[in-house]
Amino acid sequence: MAKKRTFECTACGARAEQWAGRCPGCGGWGCIEELPASMAGRGPAGAAGRLGPVPLLSISADASAARVSTGMEGIDRVLGGGLVPGSVALLAGEPGIGKSTLLLQMVANLATAGSPCLVVSGEESHAQVAARARRLGVAAEAITFAPGRDLAAVLQSASEARPFLLAVDSIQTIRDADAAQIPGGVSQVRTCTDALVGLAKGQGIAVLLTGHVTKDGDLAGPRALEHAVDVVLTFEGDARSGLRVLAGGKNRFGSEGETAWFEMEPSGLREIDPTDLLLSGERVAGAATALPLAGRRALAVEVQALVGATEGPPRRQATGLDLRRFQLVAAVLDRAVGLGLGRAELFGASGGGVRIEDPACDLAVAAALASAATRVPPPPGAAFVGEVALTGLVRPAPGMAQRLAAARAAGCSTVFAPRGETNVLEGVRIVPVGQVAEALSWARRPAGTPSERRSA
């Protein structure tokens, strides 16, 4: 015979044999919790009675022991060692940054590894989510789907299916039909979050919510619910380029400030190890360190160039770099420094092939090209920041504080940066640059080097 379960409203003390998202007694959302068997026999005591003292160590399972891997090492690390059953995490980011993609990849990993997952979406239809799963090539067999616009229906689906994880995409498209407010408004977002937190705590189902934040920092919805959830993850990047960074903010189950880096590819998000982006690891000709920005963080990435002689029409190819900008920087450099690149074959690449389209990487591209042409490596521990204008002027770059921090983290001690930069960081020397040539004084071709003979 199945064990009888007892649930009680923490607000009014009403009891029931079934869990519900909303208390039939007082109408409150997310306040129904399962009573431990030892308490179910006692009379209803309301909230006060349930909060009586119990032996401290009567809690059996250590939360960390029960953590479940998301199948993505970086996400596990940011979470503090995996997903905690019954915890509520918010994945916040700008529209288009890749939240739904990350959610689906995570859910597929969990489901494949034996933790059933229910995806509810108010953002996309069943067909759209299925099409995305196919496009991503994720193992979707063990994932179930339900529409995610109506709070009561979502709570019901979840309490019937009892998955390990309920993934809600997004908290702004779900609504409590009984409340008058519009979906996405702060009070709707709060009500729905409270109800989902109640589901997580009452049923031991982990909940992952996505939430949109806007560029100008207007975080009406997600900010308002940060206090209600256990973990806040932010997902950021420049939607034009491929770099993405997942960062842990508030975390009841782990340390704050951990990050995981990804690249958005046609086949979905690929986890990257930042140390793989600095390929050479030492000074070589044709390689320079760039500091592209992704959201509110920056990362050190090596850019490489190869310059070759040719009789025919010169080829120009770039991997990970924007080809038009690459050619433009080469043309400016030719003019400003006279490297004779005009008739040469030029190849450019980024470390790990990550797509970087941050214009402030121009100066690093210029340094890599100058280094390749002269066969002189850039100075030890140097990184380069600045957008290069057609006139050769090096324009200021946003996010300099983050770029300097990324430089220091990658072991760079010198940053060639646009003149007028006011940010400073201990341990990092800034070399102010007005014109592109000023950043390349080290790239003087010694007389009689092989490259000179070859191009003669």
Which of ligand TYD, Mg ion, none has residue 432 at its interface (CB below 5 to 8 Å by kind)?
none
C-alpha span between 125 and 147 (Å, rounded):
7
- Smaller CB distance to Mg ion: residue 36 or 95? 95
Under the binding rule (CB under 5 A), the answer on residue 100 touching Mg ion is yes
Under the binding rule (CB under 5 A), the answer on residue 172 touching Mg ion is no
Q: What is the contact surface with ligand TYD in residues (CB under 6 A)?
A: 93, 95-101, 132, 135-136, 264, 266-268
Which of ligand TYD, Mg ion, none has residue 304 at its interface (CB below 5 to 8 Å by kind)?
none
Give the shortest CB-392-to-ligand TYD separation in angstroms: 34
Give the shortest CB-218-to-ligand TYD separation in angstroms: 16
Instruction: Answer whether the bond into residue 87 is a cis peptide, omega within 30°.
Output: no
- Smaller CB distance to ligand TYD: residue 135 or 252? 135
User: What end-to-end distance do the CA atoms of the chain give, in Å?
Assistant: 91
- Smaller CB distance to ligand TYD: residue 41 or 266? 266
**Residue 240, token pair as written in the block:** 């034009």
Give the shortest CB-348-to-ligand TYD separation in angstroms: 22
Q: Taking Cα atoms as reference points, which of 176, 171, 163 lies closest to residue 123? A: 171
Helix then strand count (H, E) for the chain reads: 12, 23
Judging by DSSP bridges, how do beta strands 206-212 and 88-93 pair with one another? parallel
Which of ligand TYD, Mg ion, none has residue 268 at its interface (CB below 5 to 8 Å by kind)?
ligand TYD
Give the shortest CB-237-to-ligand TYD separation in angstroms: 10
- Smaller CB distance to ligand TYD: residue 159 or 241? 241
Which of ligand TYD, Mg ion, none has residue 98 at its interface (CB below 5 to 8 Å by kind)?
ligand TYD
**Residue 37, token pair as written in the block:** 């068997």
Burial bucket for residue 51 (CB in 10 Å: 0-12, 13-18, 19+): exposed
Which of ligand TYD, Mg ion, none has residue 162 at its interface (CB below 5 to 8 Å by kind)?
none
The torsion angle over the Cα atoms of residues 422, 423, 428 and 433, rounded to 10 degrees, is: -40
Ranges within 115-134 binding Mg ion (CB under 5 A): 123
- Smaller CB distance to ligand TYD: residue 31 or 103? 103
Q: What are phi and psi of 201, to 5 degrees?
A: -75, -35
Q: Taking Cα atoms as reference points, which of 208, 402, 398 lies closest to residue 300? A: 402
Give the shortest CB-89-to-ligand TYD separation in angstroms: 15
**Residue 178, token pair as written in the block:** 């009984």
Size of the site for Mg ion (CB under 5 A): 2
Q: Cβ-closest residue to Mg ion?
A: 100
Query: What single-letter DSSP state applies at residue 386?
Result: -
Residues in the chain: 456
Residue entry with tokens 């782990």:
254
- Smaller CB distance to Mg ion: residue 100 or 304? 100
Ranges within 345-404 binding Mg ion (CB under 5 A): none
- Smaller CB distance to Mg ion: residue 239 or 306? 239
Q: Taking Cα atoms as reference points, which of 365, 379, 381, 378 lies closest to residue 427? A: 381
- Smaller CB distance to ligand TYD: residue 132 or 395? 132
Q: Which residues bind Mg ion (CB under 5 A)?
A: 100, 123
